[in-house]
Structures are given as C-alpha cells and as structure tokens.
C-alpha cells in the first residue's frame, strides 16, 4: 500500500479480507486522514481490495457520520461512477437527504426497513451463528438484477446495534469456486442465472405461495448473469449467484434448466449455494460505530442477520460504485434506466 496506509490480513476468523490502518498510528484511525492518504495514492485501496479477496475493513471512521460527503470521496477511490440514487428510481425515503449518493439502510422511520427473521433454529447444533444455506437465507450480491451489475459497495455504520445481533456475513465466491469438484465445474461452465429485482412476485417464496407475478416494465426485466464470473482485475473465477429473493423462480433460476422452485435449476442452485456458504468460506462482521466495510460484488456474496428491531434502532449508509464490470458487459446500456426516464432533480 502507500506510505500512509498499511494492511493486516486476513480478517479475524476468516481466510480472506483485510483491515486498513494509518501507518504508524498504533491501530488508531481517522476518516479524513485515511481518505487524504487514499487520494494521495490513487491505486492503494483498489489494489488492497484485490489482494484481500474483495473485502476491506476500515475502523474509526466516525467523522463520516458528521460529514457524509466523506463517504462519497472515499467511494470514488474504487471506480469512476458513484451511483446517484435520485437518478435510479429509488424511493426518496431511502436516499440521504443531502447526499444523494448515499442509500439509507435503517429500521427507523421513515425508512422502516426491517431485519430478516431469525433462522429456524436460531443456532446451529453446535450453538454457533448459522451461516450455511439453507439454514441461513438471504445470501445475495448487490443489484445482480442489473446489467451491467455494480462493482463495489461501501457500508458505513452510523449507529449499529450491539454486537451479537445485526451482523453482516460474507462468502468468498472465488475460494468456493476453486474448491468445487471438477465435474461440477464442468457442469456449470457457461451456465447463466436469471436475476430479478425483489418485490416483483418472482421470488421463490412468492412462486411457492401461488402468487401471480406482476408485469415487468422493460427496465425491470430479469437479467441473465454468468454463474461463474471472471473478475476483471484479478482474473479469478468466482461463483456469482444469489438465492430466493433475487433469482427469477418463474422463468429460472438457471437459464436452460427446468424452471421453478422444484425443478432441475432449483436443485443445482441449492447445491451451489450450500457449497458457497460453507463455514470455511465465510467472514462474520460484528459491527462497531464508525466501522466501514468495502466489498467487491464481483466475487463475494453477503447476507444480513436478525436484530431486535422492536427494541433497537440501526442506521447504516451504503454507496455503490460502477465502472469495471468486465469485458462481458462492454458497450451495454444500463438495463435499469427506462429509455423514457427523465433525469431526476438533485434538489
């Protein structure tokens, strides 16, 4: 890294990831100093992200809560375009009131986003936090229902819940792909998943419940993505797929295989997701105020966990970075932007 930033890897309890520190500060951090150092050495953080398997932790970044524009400055270190959520049909109550590149994730009104339910049972037979699918559900990669899909997400803890609840889990898609049996690698070579925006009535639960999917506008249509995605920076192959809510269970989930929640495609997706989320491929992050995680959607999947939303309030901010999805997407227009959509006002 640069002379001002250093990295410790892997992340505790995991085989990938790294923690970014200010050099010579004995583990102390400061958001403005970290961002200044990152801007002075433009490739330092992107190179560290690639070297650490797509996950970086920056601690002590509380100054971002007071100056949210700092989060956008940091996000620009990872790619040429930071998404402006007021331009992408996002509900206004989920967009930061003064910095429209920030997506607000909170159970506090007016956002009111509730956490996922507790797994059933809430712990494994060994008394541990469940991580493996299907015991743990909700695994996804951000906005996989878009073409081109985004590169990087940054997630900042303004006010997390106490540790032991509200964790974020990450699975290493590259390590999981490397560990596949050769026959299964061959089976999925060239296979594509069919990804869809949540809330369209095409989730696994909706289809199993007999719900009728709503008609999709052209910019909402399901999008095909490779099950094995080659990372444009590292060249490594990684499993790139979600489960349940972000896969199209009407026409998919896997293109060319028997569709629906009980078909051939479902059986293969379940096998792949159970493999991808084996404990040896997982990092569990327990949040502290001021923590900031940077993750690479091109090679990782993640999942949120339950917290007691009846008693606790949680406030998190996310930005999304675009710009290098790989040669597969060269020249594509943004699938999620309606052709007749007028640019939204930034005010």
Distance CA 161, CA 295 (A): 21
Count of CB atoms situated within 10 Å of the CB of 347: 5
The predicted pLDDT at position 3 comes to 63
CA distances from 197 to 102, 257, 290, 341 (A): 20, 21, 30, 18
Distance CA 203, CA 197 (A): 9
User: Does 272 have pLDDT greater than 80?
Assistant: yes
Residue-wise pLDDT for 51-70, tens only, equals 999 999 999 999 999 999 99
CA distances from 216 to 201, 204, 206, 250 (A): 10, 17, 15, 13
pLDDT band at 298 (very low <50, low <70, confident <90, very high): very high
Residue-wise pLDDT for 79-93, tens only, equals 999 999 998 879 999
Three-state SS at 96: coil
Residue-wise pLDDT for 167-206, tens only, equals 999 999 999 999 999 999 999 999 999 999 999 999 999 9
Share of the chain above pLDDT 70, in %: 96
The number of helices, as runs of H, and strands, as runs of E, in the chain is 8, 15
User: Does 319 have pLDDT greater than 50?
Assistant: yes
The number of CA neighbours under 13 Å toward the Cβ of 173 is: 27
Reading the block at residue 296, the tokens are 């690479």
Would the CA dihedral through 133, 139, 145, 146 be positive or negative?
negative
Taking the complete model, does pTM exceed 0.75, yes or no? yes
Residue 54 and residue 175 in contact, taking contact as beta carbons nearer than 8 Å: no
CB-count burial class (<10 Å; 0-12, 13-18, 19+) for 163: exposed
Backbone angles phi, psi at 6, to 5 degrees: -135, 165
Residue-wise pLDDT for 16-51, tens only, equals 999 999 987 766 678 999 999 999 998 999 999 999
Please tell me whether the peptide bond between 320 and the residue prior to it is cis, using omega within 30 degrees of 0.
no
- What are the strands of the beta sheet with 300-304, ordered from one edge? 282-285, 168-172, 300-304
Average pLDDT over residues 312-327: 98
According to DSSP, the residues that pair with 238 across neighbouring strands are 229
**Chain CA centroid to CA 340, Å:** 29
Three-state SS at 20: strand
Distance CA 223, CA 253 (A): 11
Count of CB atoms situated within 10 Å of the CB of 97: 10
The predicted pLDDT at position 24 comes to 75
């Amino acid at each position: 890294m640069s002379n001002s930033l250093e990295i410790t890897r892997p992340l505790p309890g995991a085989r990938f990831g790294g923690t970014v520190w200010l050099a010579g500060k004995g583990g102390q951090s400061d958001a403005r100093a970290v961002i200044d150092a990152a801007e002075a050495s433009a490739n330092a953080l992107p190179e560290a992200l690639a070297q650490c398997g797509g996950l970086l932790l920056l601690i002590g970044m509380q100054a971002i809560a007071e100056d949210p524009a700092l989060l956008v400055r940091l996000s620009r270190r990872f790619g040429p375009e930071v998404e402006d959520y007021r331009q992408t049909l996002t509900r206004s109550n989920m967009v930061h009131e003064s910095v429209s590149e920030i997506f607000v994730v909170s159970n506090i009104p007016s956002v009111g986003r509730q956490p996922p339910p507790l797994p059933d049972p809430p712990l494994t037979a060994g008394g541990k936090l469940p991580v493996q699918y299907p015991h743990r559900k909700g695994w996804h990669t951000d906005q996989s229902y878009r073409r081109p899909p985004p590169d990087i997400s940054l997630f900042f803890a303004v006010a997390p819940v106490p540790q032991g609840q509200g964790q974020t889990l990450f699975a290493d898609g590259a390590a999981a792909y490397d560990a596949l049996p050769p026959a299964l690698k061959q089976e999925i070579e060239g296979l594509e998943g069919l990804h869809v925006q949540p809330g369209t009535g095409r989730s696994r639960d909706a289809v199993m419940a007999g719900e009728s999917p709503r008609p999709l506008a052209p910019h909402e249509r399901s999008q095909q993505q490779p099950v094995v995605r080659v990372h444009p920076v590292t060249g490594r192959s990684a499993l790139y797929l979600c489960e349940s809510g972000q896969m199209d269970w009407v026409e998919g989930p896997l293109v060319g295989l028997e569709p629906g929640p009980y078909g051939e495609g479902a059986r293969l997706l379940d096998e792949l997701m159970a493999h991808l989320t084996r404990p040896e491929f997982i990092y569990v992050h327990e949040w502290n105020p001021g923590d900031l995680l940077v993750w690479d959607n091109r090679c990782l999947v993640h999942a949120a966990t339950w917290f007691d939303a009846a008693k606790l309030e949680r406030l998190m901010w996310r930005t999304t970075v675009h710009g290098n999805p790989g040669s597969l997407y060269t020249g594509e227009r943004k699938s999620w932007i309606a052709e007749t959509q007028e640019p939204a006002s930034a005010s």
